[in-house]
Structure 1
Amino acid sequence: METNHDLAVDRLAALAQSHRLAVFRLLVVAGPDGRAAGDIAADLGLPPSSLSFHLAHLKRVGLVRAERRGRSLCYAADFTAMHGLVDFLTENCCSGGACAPAETRSAA
């Protein structure tokens, strides 16, 4: 059985590659409707075969979902999975106490 820790490691490993990170960020910007694979390839300048490999990896770890719309395969970020990863990373932040606002941390 895969634990939250194992799943977080798999998802972080998937995002630790520049093309996959760029694809995921583009899909986050696109919102819940996502983008067609061809549009993602054109926007990022990736060959379709490379994009398919990266999308399959992101889909395998649950960070993106795919949906057929007519003749196009559209991909969207899985925001529940994304928030779950961020929550996992920050669940023990500041030992459970209140954290300083981001502006204060940035200035330090």
Structure 2
Amino acid sequence: MDIQTAIASFSAFAQETRLMAFRLLVRHEPEGLPAGEIARQLSIPHNTLSTHLAVLERAGWLTSHRQGRSIIYRANLAHMQTVLDYLVRDCCAGHASICELPSASRCNDTINL
């Protein structure tokens, strides 16, 4: 990851609804949620949410697939790990064990999402 990609990624979270949607989807991994359910849980109009989900997907934070008439969205945990790795790549004067981050599979156990 380069700095421009990191900036584009972070800028997607510079809006409350997008951050809330991503956090919701992280909590619903690995199944994901249909767009309508995301809108319902966040109390956001469908058309407004669609715009936010598109921004997150373009930035790499989400993936989507069609299931019947619904579009199912999932948090892209691989992208999240890549961004976290980028943030701490040079931390702690080369002593990576000091800066060790929880793996995506342990997030719910160690981080209050």
- Report the 3-state secondary structure (helix = DSSP H, G, I; strand = E; otherwise coil) of the residue aligned with 2:12: helix
1:100, CA displacement in angstroms? 7.0
1:46 counterpart = 2:37 = no
- Residue 33 of structure 2 corresponds to 35
Taking the TM superposition and a 5 Å limit, the aligned residue runs for 1:70-89 are: 70-89=68-87
TM-score in terms of structure 2 length: 0.82
TM-score in terms of structure 1 length: 0.86
**1:29-83: CA deviation from partner (whole Å, max 9, x where unpaired):** 1102210000000000111011000000001111101100111111001111010
Q: Which runs of 5+ in 1 are unaligned?
A: 103-108
The separation in 1 between residues aligned to 2:43 and 2:50, in whole angstroms, is: 13
The separation in 1 between residues aligned to 2:70 and 2:100, in whole angstroms, is: 43
The separation in 1 between residues aligned to 2:50 and 2:38, in whole angstroms, is: 10
RMSD: 1.7
Q: Which runs of 5+ in 2 are unaligned?
A: 102-113
Letter in 2 for 1:21: L
Aligned pairs, number: 100
State the identity as a percent.
39
